[in-house]
Structure formats: structure tokens, C-alpha cells
Structure 1
Amino acid sequence: MKRFTASLLVLMGAASFGVLSTIVKISYSQGFSTAEVTSSPLLFGCVILWLLGIPSFKELRQLSFATIGKLLASGIFSGLTGVFYYLALQSLSASLGVILLFQFVWMGFLLEWILQKRRPSGKQWLSIAVVLIGTVLAAGYEALHFEHISLAGILLGLLAAASYTGNLTVNGRVALSVSPILRSTLMVTGGAVITLLIFPPLFLFNDSIGQGLWIYALLLGLFGVIIPPYLYAQGIPTIGSAMASILGSVELPIVIITSALILKEHITVIQWLGVILILVGICISEQRIISQKTFRKRLQYRN
């Protein structure tokens, strides 16, 4: 797969994640709990992925138990990301929660540095700084002015960022020979198991489904459980987890845009400036790749 195509897939996956917060806010306004909003999409999304993956059952039978176990265990990161993040939002503002979650931008580079001994370049450090500054600005005025700090909430937010970093990393390293649909299905299954252990599916036994939870579960399952893992499973092995961390930051501009269009939230000029800075940071990180490709082509031409 070409690197540009892989980058585009990761961008689309991150954009899909960006739609989630708007859907979650709407579901909360309808009276559904954090446990219901967290566990129901994973359960429904997992079932849908298994149905879509029926043609891959032949491949599944050929996998070793060790490979299946690695993929299931890798999915724990995606499950914990949602659990930690939604728990953090119980004691933190949404804007501060987003800032903490977006620490995955530098965590991804740090982890790749540790695992692959690949030190970030000057342009990568610059892109990280620009993206993080843009994140703070895009999160809004509220995130910079808070009177009561919840240490538990901050810890949970950082754990969500670390889990998301782990999710991006394993997508680029574990069982790359397995087809993307089967990889994402097994990873989501692992995420669903850990989530349902923390938030048991009580919604199956009360009237939440009949009251409309199924609508939000399907939407959240589609944009949070089905589309991103599949696109990440295809794109991240080509571009690497560090670059995926930068491209994943496009999630916040999507959050801002959907909030403005659907929730009719007022977005300030400073927030739009933050969105622009995030996009600039992504362009800086991609410019390094384009420059390397251009250099190689010129070198081949001269030879």
C-alpha cells in the first residue's frame, strides 16, 4: 500500500473518532448513563464485525492460538481508552479531558523512540509542539481556567492517552500478515471483553434499548468500533505508530466542526486558530516524508 493512501486511511479513521463526542453528548442529553454509552457500542460493533468477517473464518482457523491471543490482548488498549476517557469526563470538563487525551501525540513518538530506537527529527518535534499548542487553543477558554482540579480525573485522562498510544502501536506491530478485517475484529473483541467486565451490559436487561439506546449504540459502534479499527489496521502498518499519532490529531478539528454544525455550539476565533495549528502540525510532519521521497527520486534519476 502506498504511504499516501495509508495516511489517508488513518486520517479517515481519526475523523470517524471525532464524530463520537457529538453523538455521546446527544445520548447523554437523552438520559443514558456512561456505562450504557460505553458498553453498548462495543457489544453491537463487535457483533457486526463478526458478521462482516464471516468470509474470514477460513483464515481464522489457520491462525495459531498464540496469534489469536496476541490480537485479543492487543484490543484491550482500545477498550481501556474508552473506559478511562469516559470515567475522566465524570470529574473533568470535556475541554480539559480532550487536552489530556491528546497527549498521545508525543507519547506515540516517545514509545517508538524506546521500541525502535528511532529518535524524532527536528521537524517531528516541531510538529508535536504545534499540534499540542493547537490542541490547547482548540479546546477553548474553559480548559485554561478551572478552579478545582481532580487528580483522579487527570490520572484517568492520561491513562486514556497512554491506552490510545498503545492502541496505535499494536496496530502497527502485531500480526501484520492477518487480513485487516480479521485483525480489527479480534482486537475489537478483546476491547469488548475488558469493557464489558468493567461496565456489565445491564442495558440488555432493562428498557434502555427500547427507549432509543440502540440508535446511539449503532452510531457509536459504526464510527467508534467498526470504521476506525479497520482503517487503522490497514494504514498504520505502512506509516508507523508515531506518524499515526500526528495524523490522529485531526480528530479534534472534527470534534470542533461537528459541535458547531450539529450541536450549534459557539466556536471562538481562538479555537479555529487552534484547529488551523493542528492541521499545520500535520502538514509539517508529512512534509518530511514528501521531502524524503523527492530526494530518493532525484537520486534514482541521477543514477
Structure 2
Amino acid sequence: MQIIAIASGLAAGALWALAFIAPALVSPFDGTKLTLLRYAVFGISSGVVLALLPRERWWPLAKAYWPSLLVLALAGNTLYYLLLSEALQLAGTLLPTMIIGTLPVVIPAIAGVQTGLFSARRLFWPGLLILSGLGLHISPVGEVAAKDGTIPQTSVGTVLALAALVSWAVYGLKNAALLASFQRADLVTWTALIGVATLGTLPLVVVFVLLDGSLMLDAGQWQPWLALIFWGLVLGLLSSWVATWLWNLASCVLTGEVLGYLIVSETVFAILYNFLVERRFPNTFELPSLVLLVSGVAIGIHTAPRSKLSAS
């Protein structure tokens, strides 16, 4: 079961990583419109699933946990992706990707403190390697921004990416704790409930869309609309529905520390997708930063206590 859970966590990361390249592929639409469409698809499809299920299967969970479901919907979906998509458009793809890549350090550290199993010695080398990889990437990005005069945008994008990091950490830890508290988790129902709760948070996104002030394109510009609809469906069904279900499966078996390290798959796949989109190989800074990131996570998983991996 642990192997299936680990594979599920890695697969969820691979699907989530699609969200890192999508904002650049729906131009001239911005991240708010992509966020709105993505989570509308997730929420509506989740409502359809609940309508097909017996009411007694999902109503008790919805009634008992609706405040937590709203927090999860905001922290892990709406607010998180609003922050991330804006960060991606301001600072480019790789820098926010690498910042989110520190989740394998942040979540194990917080999980260790919460469970009383925090070990600075165990987290030192994984943390050092991951943060070194991030620093190696930020340095050349900063030099390019200085030459191009885009430091203010890059700085704002960095702050937004850090806020997204905090938001998802809240989601990951709270969702794992709730699933662990259930005697038997109904993953389809729980995923659908999060989706419907996400639909309820979309007025926040609508506010941002209205503030943006550019709702329409010329009638003849149909290709951007096709791109927006395509990526909205991909992110809503695959990166939201399927990935959330896979991550819930992993969260039922693995604990916070191990889950934190598995999130590296999101960063690695996002970087690989970015290279595919740009049709290039990693440069002299990107390759070693990626190696440091993966090495740090590998050491972290290797040094994690066996008891943590056997949690269920």
C-alpha cells in the first residue's frame, strides 16, 4: 500500500505541475481568468459527482466539516492558484517554481514540530541542498532582472510565490490531519466536497477578474479563447480532480514528513515541462540547481524514520 501511496503522490505532483506552464500558454488572458475557469470546472464536475452519489454518503461529512472544507478550498485551490498564477506572470516560470520547490523542506519541518518528532539534524542536509538549489537559480534570475529593469516585477512575483507557498502548506497539513482522523476515508466523496467548496470561493476570483478590467477580446480572436478553455478543462479535471484524489490517497497512508518530500515531483515536472515549452535544455545554472533539489529530497526521504513511512 505504501508503494501505491508514494506513486499516487508523485503522480499528483506531475499533474499539478501543468498549472505552472498554463498561465504562459493562455496569453493574453491573465491568471485570474484561468483560475476562474479551472475551479469552475472542478466545482461543477464535483457537484455532478455528489448528485450521483447517495445523499447519506456525503451529507454527514459536508455538515460536520464545511468550515474545514472552505479553508481547504481557499488554501489549496483558489487563493493558492491566484497567488501562484500572478507570480508566474510577473516573475516567469522557473523562479516561482523553485520557491514552491521548498515545500519539501517547509512541510516536513512543520509536521515534525506538530508531532513532536522534529529533528534539525535529520532535516539539515536535505534543507541545505534544496535551499542551495533555489539560491543557485535565483542569482542569475536577479542579474537578468537588473539588466532588463524588471526587478520590481520580479520582487512582487517572488512575494506572491512565497505567499502561495504558505497557503499550500496550510492546505497540505490540514488535509492530511483530517484524512488521518477518519476511520475510513471516502476519497471520492471528500474530493468532490472540496471541489464544491472551491466553487463557493469563486466570488473571490470574480472580484479579481472585475478589477482587472479586460474581460473580452475582439470577436475575431478565437484562438486565445480556445487555449483558455482547453487549459481550463485540463487543469480543472486533471490538475484539480484527479490530482486531488491521488493526493488524498497518499495522505491517507503517508505522514506529513514523507508527503512533504513527495511534493518535489511537482517542482521537477514543472521545470521539465518548462524546458519542453521553451524547447531547450537546462543551462549551467538550472541543471545543478535541479540536481541539488532532487538530491536534497532523496536524502530527506532516505533519512525519514521507518515509523513515519509505515503510518496509515
TM-score with structure 1 length normalisation? Answer: 0.82
Work out the CA distance in 1 between the residues paired with 2:54 and 2:174. Answer: 21
Work out the CA distance in 2 between the residues paired with 1:198 and 1:222. Answer: 19
Q: Please say if residues 23 and 216 of structure 1, whose CA atoms lie closer than 8 Å, have aligned partners that are also in contact.
A: yes
* Aligned ranges 1:110-149 → 2 under 5 Å: 110-120=109-119, 122-137=121-136, 141-143=140-142, 145-147=144-146, 148-149=151-152
Q: Please say if residues 46 and 193 of structure 2, whose CA atoms lie closer than 8 Å, have aligned partners that are also in contact.
A: no
1:60 is matched by which residue type in structure 2?
W
Q: Work out whether 1:163 is the aligned partner of 2:167.
A: yes
Work out the CA distance in 1 between the residues paired with 2:201 and 2:297. Answer: 32
Work out the CA distance in 1 between the residues paired with 2:283 and 2:25. Answer: 22
Work out the CA distance in 2 between the residues paired with 1:127 and 1:273. Answer: 15
Please report how far the alpha carbon of residue 170 of structure 1 lies from its aligned counterpart in structure 2 after TM superposition: 1.5
Work out the CA distance in 2 between the residues paired with 1:154 and 1:279. Answer: 22
Counterpart of 1:268 in structure 2 is: 283
Work out the CA distance in 2 between the residues paired with 1:233 and 1:137. Answer: 33
Please report how far the alpha carbon of residue 161 of structure 1 lies from its aligned counterpart in structure 2 after TM superposition: 0.4
Counterpart of 2:31 in structure 1 is: 34
Report Cα offsets for 1:251-278 as digits up to 9, x if no partner. 2221222222243144214322322332
Residues 98/262 of structure 1: CA separation in 2 closer, same or farther (3 Å cut): closer
Counterpart of 1:6 in structure 2 is: 5
1:233 is matched by which residue type in structure 2?
N
1:263 is matched by which residue type in structure 2?
E
Residues 144/162 of structure 1: CA separation in 2 closer, same or farther (3 Å cut): farther
* Aligned ranges 1:234-245 → 2 under 5 Å: 234-245=249-260
Counterpart of 2:194 in structure 1 is: 187
TM-score with structure 2 length normalisation? Answer: 0.79
Please report how far the alpha carbon of residue 163 of structure 1 lies from its aligned counterpart in structure 2 after TM superposition: 0.5
Counterpart of 1:283 in structure 2 is: 298
Work out the CA distance in 1 between the residues paired with 2:201 and 2:143. Answer: 33
Residues 228/138 of structure 1: CA separation in 2 closer, same or farther (3 Å cut): farther
Q: Work out whether 1:86 is the aligned partner of 2:85.
A: yes
Q: Structure 2 unaligned runs (5+)?
A: none
Q: Structure 1 unaligned runs (5+)?
A: 297-303
Q: Please say if residues 7 and 235 of structure 1, whose CA atoms lie closer than 8 Å, have aligned partners that are also in contact.
A: yes
Work out the CA distance in 1 between the residues paired with 2:69 and 2:257. Answer: 20
Please report how far the alpha carbon of residue 138 of structure 1 lies from its aligned counterpart in structure 2 after TM superposition: 5.7
* Aligned ranges 1:188-207 → 2 under 5 Å: 188-200=195-207
Please report how far the alpha carbon of residue 195 of structure 1 lies from its aligned counterpart in structure 2 after TM superposition: 4.0
Q: Structure 1 residue aligned with 2:44, among 31, 43, 47?
A: 47
1:197 is matched by which residue type in structure 2?
L
Work out the CA distance in 1 between the residues paired with 2:91 and 2:237. Answer: 26
Q: Please say if residues 135 and 252 of structure 1, whose CA atoms lie closer than 8 Å, have aligned partners that are also in contact.
A: no
2:41 is matched by which residue type in structure 1?
F
2:260 is matched by which residue type in structure 1?
S
Q: Percent identity?
A: 14
Structure 1 residue runs of 4+, over 6 Å off? 207-210
Work out the CA distance in 1 between the residues paired with 2:124 and 2:195. Answer: 32
Give RMSD over aligned pairs: 3.1
User: SS of the counterpart of 1:278?
Assistant: helix
